[in-house]
Amino acid sequence: MAGHHDEYQVHRAKILTPAFYVLLFFTVLGFLLIAYRFVMGIGAVSNLSDGYPWGIWIAYDVATSTAFACGGYAMALVIYIMNRMKYHPLIRSALVTSMFGYMLAGMSVMVDVGRYWNAYSFFIPSRWQPNSVMFEVAVCIMAYNVVLIIEVLPAILERFIHMKNDKFPKIKHYAMIIYPKLDKVLIFIVVLGITLPSMHQSSLGSMLIIAKSKLNPIWHTEMLPLLFIINALYIGYATVIFESFASSMAFRRPFEKEVQQLSKIIPYVTGIWLAVRFIDLYIRGQLSAAFAGDFYSWMFMAEMLLILTGTYILMWNQYRRSPRMVFIAAMFLLIGGGWFRFNVYLIGFKPHGNWSYFPSLPEFFITVGLVAFEILGYMLLVKLFPIMPKVHGEHGAEAAKAH
Q: Which residues bind other proteins (CB under 8 A)?
A: 47, 49-52, 84, 86, 245-246, 249, 257, 260-262, 264, 317, 320-325, 327-328, 331, 353-361, 364, 368
Nearer to other proteins, 206 or 322 (CB): 322
On whether the CB atoms of residues 237 and 262 are closer than 8 A, the answer is: yes
**Maximum separation of any 2 CA atoms in the chain, in Å:** 69
On whether the CB atoms of residues 205 and 226 are closer than 8 A, the answer is: yes
Nearer to other proteins, 53 or 180 (CB): 53
Nearer to other proteins, 129 or 317 (CB): 317
Q: How far is the CB of 58 from other proteins (least distance, A)?
A: 16
On whether the CB atoms of residues 145 and 190 are closer than 8 A, the answer is: no
Looking at this protein, which amino acid is placed at residue 8? Y
**Distance between CA atoms of 185 and 280, rounded to whole angstroms?**
41
Q: How far is the CB of 246 from other proteins (least distance, A)?
A: 7
Q: How far is the CB of 364 from other proteins (least distance, A)?
A: 6
Q: How far is the CB of 170 from other proteins (least distance, A)?
A: 43
Nearer to other proteins, 56 or 227 (CB): 56
Looking at this protein, which amino acid is placed at residue 227? L
CA atoms within 13 A on the CB side of 17: 14
Q: How far is the CB of 193 from other proteins (least distance, A)?
A: 22
Nearer to other proteins, 253 or 277 (CB): 253
Nearer to other proteins, 8 or 245 (CB): 245
On whether the CB atoms of residues 230 and 312 are closer than 8 A, the answer is: no
Q: How far is the CB of 389 from other proteins (least distance, A)?
A: 16
Q: How far is the CB of 66 from other proteins (least distance, A)?
A: 19
- Of 267, 340, 333, nearest to 303 by C-alpha is 340
Nearer to other proteins, 55 or 225 (CB): 55
**Distance between CA atoms of 255 and 391, rounded to whole angstroms?**
9
Nearer to other proteins, 62 or 326 (CB): 326
- Of 263, 257, 247, nearest to 332 by C-alpha is 263
**Distance between CA atoms of 79 and 94, rounded to whole angstroms?**
12
Q: How far is the CB of 31 from other proteins (least distance, A)?
A: 18
Cβ-count burial of 122 within 10 angstroms (0-12 exposed, 13-18 middle, 19+ buried)? middle
Nearer to other proteins, 357 or 385 (CB): 357
Q: How far is the CB of 117 from other proteins (least distance, A)?
A: 25
CA atoms within 13 A on the CB side of 279: 10
On whether the CB atoms of residues 208 and 220 are closer than 8 A, the answer is: yes
Neighbouring residues of 38: CB distance < 8 A, sequence distance ≥ 6: 116
Cβ-count burial of 350 within 10 angstroms (0-12 exposed, 13-18 middle, 19+ buried)? middle
